[in-house]
């Protein structure tokens, strides 16, 4: 019996080893990068990546972090998604996790750092000049850092010190400087769980080197959306929108210019909307601009306030749709983004005006355009005329048949014609001479000959 127990234990271990090996091999590690500014586009990228990790049934998610921060509201969304994730999330700080990057890192279950990397400096700054934002924003950021650190089991006081320079922690930070940890300092104070040179080293340390490694890949739809977010493509779409609206207003009922403008507007706004840049009210401003312009051209005579407002609203909607402003608040919009959006809209508007002037004379010569519009000119030398009477009456003399006041009738060579003078009143019997034939009347004047 004593000899049987070791044999059974050996057999049990022998047959369980393949099952254990299979279990290790079936582990799935999902990875994606946060390697640029935290903005609506990155917010959407993280959301899609986490959804894909759930779809592939990943056992672990590793975020490769290298960012100087970005928009606070988007960072808040991302850290909330990380805290609510049912899949464990590790953050590997490859170089920098500053500001919003620090907040996101603290939300993860474990933090690993590459040699020479850092975490901290989470003071909220203005996007235009880089100065510190008002205290209400700092207070909001402090509360987020504190609550996030508490949720992930880290020191909330240290997390607050990464935002507020007035916080002093003995042996860690002095008053007057915002806290930033190096690798060794982060390890010492619980804001780093290990120093590794790569994700592969982390997996090896966690005995996950044999696991299936899956990197996040953008779908074809996301690549198309990214293509249309290119400022150059946005500029071309703006050109088509403005040009299409102009040609449709000049030739109402044709349809093709309007269709081109609608398609271009959809391709312009949808990518920005999906990435959280364009909001509903900004698209409403754009549509309202078109309505005001149409009212000016078709309902209200002349070119006044409605036309000017229409143009401003159209360009304003296009401009605002490119920027992550919060209800017209540009405090945290980078100056470079403001300049790029403004330059794109202005250059596209100028180019569209130039294209309209260059293209308008040529459009009527296109065979396809002639098929749907009346583009031909009825020239006088081809026999076309708007006059009811033949031009041979020009220069003929006659007499007033019924008084011209200034219109009436004249008699020429025994025939009675409708006529009008140049404003003078002519009595019956006075001699006249025909100046021109216009419509169904003759234009005459008193003949002194």
pLDDT tens-place values along the chain, 449 residues long: 455 555 555 555 555 555 544 444 568 999 999 988 888 888 889 999 999 999 999 999 999 999 988 888 888 999 999 999 999 999 999 989 998 899 999 999 999 999 999 998 888 876 656 667 777 778 888 899 999 999 999 999 999 999 888 888 888 888 878 899 999 999 999 999 999 999 999 999 989 888 899 999 877 777 787 787 777 888 888 888 888 887 777 666 656 778 888 888 888 888 888 877 777 888 888 889 888 887 877 777 655 788 788 888 888 888 888 877 766 766 666 677 778 888 888 888 888 878 777 766 665 555 555 554 555 555 555 555 555 666 678 888 899 998 888 888 999 888 888 888 887 888 888 999 888 877 778 888 888 87
Same domain assignment for residues 332 and 392: no
Phi, psi (degrees; rounded to nearest 5) at 92: -105, 110
116: domain CATH number? 3.90.226.10
Q: How far apart are CA 268 and CA 257, in angstroms?
A: 16
**Confidence (pLDDT) at 421:** 87
Q: How far apart are CA 286 and CA 272, in angstroms?
A: 14
Residues 6 or more apart in contact with residue 304 via CB below 8 angstroms: 296
**Confidence (pLDDT) at 22:** 47
Residue 11 lies in a domain: no
Same domain assignment for residues 233 and 203: no
How far apart, in Å, are the Cα atoms of 311 and each of 242, 247, 286, 339?
A: 10, 15, 9, 20
**Confidence (pLDDT) at 127:** 60
Q: How far apart are CA 192 and CA 112, in angstroms?
A: 6
Q: Where are the beta strands (DSSP E) in 89-135?
A: 89-98, 110-113, 118-120
Residue 116 lies in a domain: yes
Task: Point out which residues pair with 409 in neighbouring strands.
Answer: 402, 418
Q: How far apart are CA 364 and CA 37, in angstroms?
A: 49
436: domain CATH number? 2.40.50.140
Same domain assignment for residues 187 and 258: no
Range(s) of the domain holding residue 169: 24-217
**Confidence (pLDDT) at 379:** 57
Bridge-based pairing of strands 441-446 and 431-438 is antiparallel
Residue 237 lies in a domain: yes
Same domain assignment for residues 272 and 202: no
Same domain assignment for residues 124 and 190: yes
Residue 36 lies in a domain: yes
pTM confidence score: 0.65
Same domain assignment for residues 69 and 150: yes
**Confidence (pLDDT) at 348:** 85
Last residue of a domain, one of 217, 236, 255: 217
Last residue of a domain, one of 344, 370, 396: 370
Phi, psi (degrees; rounded to nearest 5) at 412: -130, 120
Same domain assignment for residues 211 and 237: no
Same domain assignment for residues 38 and 185: yes
Last residue of a domain, one of 331, 350, 370: 370
Residue 4 lies in a domain: no
**Confidence (pLDDT) at 128:** 58
Q: How far apart are CA 132 and CA 178, in angstroms?
A: 12
Give exposure, 197-226, as e/b (b: 16+ Cβ within 10 Å). Answer: eebebbbeebebeebebbebeeeeebeebe
Same domain assignment for residues 391 and 419: yes
Residue 15 lies in a domain: no
Same domain assignment for residues 323 and 388: no
Phi, psi (degrees; rounded to nearest 5) at 438: -130, 110
Residue 332 lies in a domain: yes
Same domain assignment for residues 419 and 288: no
Residue 12 lies in a domain: no
Q: How many domains does the chain have?
A: 3
**Confidence (pLDDT) at 21:** 47
How far apart, in Å, are the Cα atoms of 109 and each of 65, 104, 348?
A: 14, 11, 47
Same domain assignment for residues 136 and 31: yes
């Amino acid at each position: 019996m004593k000899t049987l127990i070791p044999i059974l234990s050996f057999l049990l271990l022998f047959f369980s080893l393949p099952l254990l090996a299979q279990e290790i091999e079936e582990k799935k590690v999902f990875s994606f990068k946060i390697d640029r500014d935290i903005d609506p586009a990155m917010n959407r990228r993280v959301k899609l990546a986490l959804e894909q990790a759930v779809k592939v049934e990943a056992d672990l998610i590793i975020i490769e972090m290298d960012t100087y921060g970005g928009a606070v509201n988007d960072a808040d969304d991302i850290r909330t998604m990380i805290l609510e994730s049912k899949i464990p999330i590790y953050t590997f700080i490859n170089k920098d996790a500053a500001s919003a990057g620090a907040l996101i890192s603290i939300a993860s279950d474990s933090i690993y750092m590459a040699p020479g990397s850092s975490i901290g400096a989470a003071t909220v700054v203005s996007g235009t000049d880089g100065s510190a934002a008002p205290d209400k924003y700092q207070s909001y950021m402090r509360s987020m850092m504190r609550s996030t650190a508490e949720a992930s089991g880290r020191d909330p006081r240290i997390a607050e010190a990464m935002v507020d320079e007035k916080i002093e922690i003995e042996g860690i930070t002095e008053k007057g400087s915002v806290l930033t940890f190096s690798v060794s300092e982060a390890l010492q104070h619980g804001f780093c769980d290990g120093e590794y040179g790569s994700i592969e080293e982390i997996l090896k340390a966690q005995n996950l080197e044999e696991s299936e490694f899956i990197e996040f890949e953008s779908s074809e739809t996301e690549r198309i959306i990214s293509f249309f977010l290119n400022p150059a493509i946005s500029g071309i779409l703006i050109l088509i929108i403005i040009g299409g609206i102009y040609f449709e207003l000049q030739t109402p009922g044709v349809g093709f210019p309007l269709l081109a403008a609608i398609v271009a507007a959809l391709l312009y706004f949808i990518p920005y909307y999906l990435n959280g840049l364009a909001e509903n009210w900004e698209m409403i401003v754009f549509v309202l601009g078109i309505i005001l312009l149409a009212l000016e051209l078709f309902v209200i005579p002349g070119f006044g306030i409605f036309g000017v407002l229409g143009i401003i609203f159209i360009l304003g909607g296009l401009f605002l749709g490119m920027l992550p402003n919060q209800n017209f608040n540009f405090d945290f919009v980078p100056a470079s983004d403001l300049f790029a959006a403004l330059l794109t809209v202005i250059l596209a508007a100028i180019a569209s005006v130039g294209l309209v002037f260059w293209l308008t004379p040529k459009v009527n010569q296109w065979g396809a355009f002639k098929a749907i519009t009346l583009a031909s000119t009825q020239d006088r030398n081809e026999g076309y005329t708007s006059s009811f009477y033949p031009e041979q009456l020009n220069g003929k003399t006659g007499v007033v048949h019924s008084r011209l006041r200034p219109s009436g009738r004249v008699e020429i060579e025994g025939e009675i014609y409708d006529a009008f003078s140049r404003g003078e009143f002519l009595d019956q019997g006075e001699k006249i001479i025909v100046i021109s034939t216009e419509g169904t009347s003759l234009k005459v004047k008193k003949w002194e000959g």
